[in-house]
Amino acid sequence: LLVYVDDVVLSGNNFSEIQIVKQHLHQKFQIKDLGPLKFFLGLEVARSKKGIILNQRKYCLELIDESGLLGSKPAPTPADPAIKLHADHGSLLNDPTSFRRLIGRLLYLTNTRPDISFSVQQLSQFVSQPREPHLQAALRIVRYLKGAPGLGLFYPAENHLRIQAFSDSDWATCSTTRKSVTGYCVFLGKSLVSWKSKKQSTVSRSSSEAEYRALASLTCELQWLKFLSDSLFVKIPAPFSVFSDSQSAIQIAKNPTFHERTKHIEVDCHLIRIKLQEELLHLIHVPSANQLADAFTKSLYPKLFLHAISKLGLSNIHGPT
C-alpha cells in the first residue's frame, strides 16, 4: 500500500487480497477505483507480457515545452565533456528562480532517467548563485531529453534474483573544491534498481581513496537493499557481486592490516571489510571499458556515453518526437 495525499497504489501477488483491501477502504472512505496502474505522480507505467516500463514522458514533454525547446535540435549527450563549469565564471542570472525550478524538475526526472543523473547533480551545486553558463548547460540537458522523452526503465517479467553492482569514482573532478564524485549502479538480474551520482563530502588524497569511498557508499546501499528484500520476504542470494575498475581500492578493502597508506581514511569506510567478512559482497575487478558506472561520475563523449547507457536497461516504447 503506497499513499501520497489522496493517491493510493495497491500492489501484491494475490488479486483476491487486493480486492478485499479495496472493499475495506471503500467502506471507510469514498474512493475511485482507476483500475490497473498507468499513471502516478508523473510516472507512467506501461505493461505487457514481457514486463513493465516506467517512464515520465508526459512530464518530460511538459518540461521541454516550458523551456521553449520543443522545436530545438536534440543534443547527443546531456553534457559537453569539453566544458567545465565553475561557480564564479559568467554573469549572474537576473532571475535565478526559473533556473532553480528547472533543476528541481530535472532532479525529479532522474527517478526514471539515470542517464542524466551526473549532469543534473553537477548543476544542482550552483542553484544558490546560478550563472549564464549553468543555464546553458541545463538547457542542453533539456535538448538531450528532446531526443527521447519516452525513454524509461524496463523491468522484464522473467528476471534472475541476483544482485550485481558497479562502483566508480572520478578523482578530484571538482575544480573548485577538488572533491571527487561517487557513482554506482545496482542491478537485480538485468534490471537497474538503484543508482547514485554524488560529490564526495571530503577531499581524497589519491584516486585509490576516492574509489574506496565510492565502494563504501555502495556497500551501505547494498546493506539497505538486503534489509529491504528481507522485510519483503524476498530471498536474494549473497554474496552480491561488486565490480570496480580500481585494483588498489579492492586490495585496500581485502587487506585486514591498517598501514600508513590507509589509516587516514575514516573508520566508517572500513565497513567494506566487515561486509566482506560477513560475505554480503564479493569484490571483482572489471576493466574500465566495461565499467557501467562510468556515466555516473563524468561527462562522456557521444560514442562512450551511448555505450554506457545501453547497458542500463533503458527502453523506449514511443516513437521520436
Question: Given this model, what pLDDT does residue 292 score?
Answer: 95
Q: What's residue 116's pLDDT?
A: 98
Could you tell me the pLDDT band of residue 264, with boundaries at 50, 70 and 90? low
Q: What is the mean pLDDT of residues 253-269?
A: 64
Among residues of the chain, what percentage have pLDDT more than 90? 70
As a whole number, mean pLDDT of residues 206-224 equals 93
- In tens, the pLDDT along 159-214 reads 889 999 999 999 988 777 889 999 999 999 999 999 999 999 889 888 988 999 99
Looking at residue 13, the DSSP 8-state letter turns out to be S
Task: Indicate if the pLDDT at residue 284 is higher than 90.
Answer: yes
Q: Is the pLDDT reported for residue 99 higher than 80?
A: yes
pLDDT at 145 over 60: yes
Whether pLDDT at 13 is above 70: yes
Region 159-309: CATH code: 3.30.420.10
Q: How confident is the model at residue 262 (pLDDT cuts 50, 70, 90)?
A: low
With contact defined as beta carbons under 8 Å apart, do 189 and 161 qualify? yes
What is the reported pTM?
0.91
pLDDT at 4: 83
Domain segments of the chain as ranges: 2-35, 55-151, 159-309
Whose grid coordinates read 553534457? 79
Nearest to 110 by CA among 72, 50, 161, 54: 54
Most confident of the ranges 14-28, 54-68, 255-269: 54-68
pLDDT score for 267: 66
Give the DSSP per-residue string, 201-215: SS--SSHHHHHHHHH
pLDDT number for residue 259: 53
- For residue 17, what is its C-alpha cell? 487480497
Give the mean pLDDT of 102-112: 97
Q: What is the DSSP string of 98-132?
A: HHHHHHHHHHHHTTT-GGGHHHHHHHGGGSSS-BH
> Which range is most confident: 36-40, 111-115, 155-159?
111-115
What is the residue-averaged pLDDT of the chain?
Answer: 91
* Pairing between β-strand 281-285 and β-strand 240-244 as defined by DSSP bridges: parallel
> Grid coordinates standing for 90?
559568467
User: pLDDT for 47-67, tens place per residue?
Assistant: 999 999 999 999 999 999 999
191 three-class SS: strand
Q: What confidence category does residue 232 fall into, taking pLDDT thresholds of 50, 70 and 90? A: confident
CA distance 315 to 319: 12
> DSSP of 214-250, one letter per residue?
HHHHHHHHHHHHHHHHHHTT----SSEEEEES-HHHH
pLDDT of residue 317: 84
Question: If you average pLDDT over residues 272-289, what whole number do you get?
Answer: 93
**Count of beta carbons in the 10 Å neighbourhood of residue 33:** 9
